[in-house]
Chains A and B, each alone.
Chain A
Amino acid sequence: MSGRYRWLAVASPLGLLLVWEILSRTGVADPRFFPPPSTIIRTLATMVRNGELPIHIGVSVRRILIGFVLGSVPAVLLGLAMGLARPLRALLMPIAAAIYPIPKIAIYPLIIFYLGIGEASKVAIVALSIFFLVLLNTMAGVLGLDRAYFNIAKAYGAGPRSIFTTVAVPGAMPQIFTGLKLAMGFALIVIVGAELLGSDAGIGFLIWRSYQIFAIEAMYVGLLVTAILGWLATIALDWLERLAMPWRPT
């Protein structure tokens, strides 16, 4: 998004909020379930001031970040290894392909059974949810590399170690970032889901509790915060991507 069309990217969400505001104020949409955005913003401001919102955000962000690192780092390493070594791929690919599509939130009760209701289970569900996504993307990144790159490396004396660091890692980097970006979205979805199911803090908890006590504005604040977090995460990952791959045409 650049140049003359940038304003469109700002106009579309603002326009949506404006339509919502009008529908809600005129009563076309029931303001009990669809409070006007201006009210939601006011509630958000109050919750920031009384310190409630920062606590929930802090709890969720911490769970996401730890789970994200614990899930993605081993996934990248194993994905690179599977992309490079055919036997390893043959050994692990059927398992990975089978576990990948299972909604990890469906085995959350099992995770709670093993790790308890505390932080460990939240972090684990995030890590588990993104692991296979990053793994399969990383492996595809290595497999999609032109043979020519490996031939150049081998013809100029590169051993397995040098092939790993000078071909596989930088070559798969674009796909690794595709995986990481998808994973960040998944992490948000799954942590909110997990906090809905069993937690005493976090954005998911905030949404669920607000709904139960019919504090609809606060519930919308939770949804809004989730959206903003997702947007900020995308910006952060885009920035990291440019930093990791200065060689890419922009």
Chain B
Amino acid sequence: MIATAPPRVAPITVRGVGKVYPARRGSFVALHDVSFSVAPGEFCAIIGPSGCGKTTLLHILAGLIPASSGTVEIPPRVPGRLTSALIFQGISTLPWLTVQQNAEYGLRHMRVSPAERRRRAVEQLRRVGLDGFVDASPHQLSEGMRQRVSIARALATDPEVLLMDEPFANLDEQNRLLLQDELLRLWQENRQTVLFVTHSLDEAIRLSDRVLVMTSAPGRIKSEVPVRLSRPREFSSVRQDPEYGALSAQLWEALRDEVLRARHT
């Protein structure tokens, strides 16, 4: 564990957030009146059709782009910790940096001493099983290993909130299941607040305490579905749980119309 900062987890509160992009004619409403909150230490999934503004929402929460309206409350910054760490889909590492330098990347901008930086990065790389690859270049790793580097980079900043944008979307199913195991294990140790965007019903149910379903564009929160499966969630026991089938059906019920609507626009 990291001793410098007291373990603290924070809630996320989103109120009436909208995002409007200028378009060729008029404007495009990506998000409309999105409101929800995530409790401290909760693992919350967001699911929705392609193009519903899931990524836009996460980028607003991460402070990459401003919201057009509404407010986002993420607790104020604590020295030595990042408020929210974003894990990206697809390209997730900087290919010109080594694994170690990638893992240290967030700390580099946080007034953390080089020795402390190194220690924290190595610690997290060990947790994701990459301590043997500190000097490797990202291109020498598999897609799954690169994604673990980006998880280590996020965890090294000791974030209060972890924002994940379809981090396993580019992996094959087997590797995706392994990384889900790993993420669950890491989360069970630290209990960060997690907001996890995915388009996979399975992934949302397997990982989260609660699933928020988004509508097609303009994206809103359509409904929320609590996931009351017991933890730890072994793959085989989750899949055999009758509750799993019921949840799957319930989520698809909520999602199907939105996916159809997204196809027609």
- Which A residues form the contact surface with B (CB < 8 A)? 146, 148-149, 151-159, 162, 166-167, 170-171, 173, 245-249
**Looking at B88, B94, B96, B108, which has the most chain A CB atoms within 10 Å of its CB?**
B96
A246 CA / B85 CA spacing, docked (Å): 28
Q: Report if A152-B94 is in contact (Cβ < 8 Å); known contacts: A157-B82, A157-B109, A247-B139.
A: yes
A166 to B86, CA, bound (A): 18
Say whether B110 contacts A157, CB under 8 Å.
yes
| Size class of the B contact interface (CB-based, 8 Å) | 20 to 34
B82: A residues at CB distance < 8 A: 156-157
Q: Which residue of B lies closest to A154 (CB)?
A: B64
Top 10 A-B pairs, shortest CB-CB distance:
A157-B109, A170-B96, A148-B91, A156-B106, A155-B86, A247-B137, A247-B96, A249-B139, A155-B62, A156-B105
Smallest Cβ distance from B14 to chain A, in angstroms? 18
B139/A156 in contact, CB under 8 A: no
- Give chain A residues whose Cβ lies under 8 Å from the Cβ of B220: none
Apart from A151-B64, A248-B139, A249-B140, what are 7 other A-B pairs with CB-CB below 8 Å?
A: A148-B91, A156-B153, A156-B157, A157-B106, A166-B94, A171-B96, A247-B137
| Cα separation A173 to B96 with both chains bound (whole Å) | 10
- Beta-carbon contacts under 8 Å, B76-135 to A: 82, 85-86, 88, 90-98, 105-106, 108-110
Quick one: closest B residue to A170, CB to CB?
A: B96
The interface residues of chain A lying within 8 Å CB-to-CB of B92 are 148, 152
Q: With a CB–CB cut-off of 8 A, which chain B residues contact A170?
A: 94, 96-97
Closest Cβ–Cβ distance, residue A171 to chain B (whole Å): 7
Chain B nearest CB: distance from A246 CB in Å? 8
The answer to whether B106 touches A167, judged by C-beta atoms less than 8 angstroms apart, is no
Closest to B62 in A: A155
In the complex the two chains form, is B88's CB within 8 Å of A152's CB? yes
Question: Is A159 touching B109 in the complex (CB atoms < 8 A)?
Answer: yes
Distance A152 CA – B91 CA, assembled complex (angstroms):
9
Interface centre among A146, A152, A162, A245 (most CB of B within 10 A): A152
Q: How far is the CA of A158 from the CA of B157 in the complex (A)?
A: 13
Those of B22-69 within 8 Å (CB) of chain A: 59, 62-64
| B94 A158 Cβ-Cβ under 8 A | no
Could you tell me the distance in whole angstroms from the C-beta of A249 to the nearest C-beta in chain B? Answer: 5
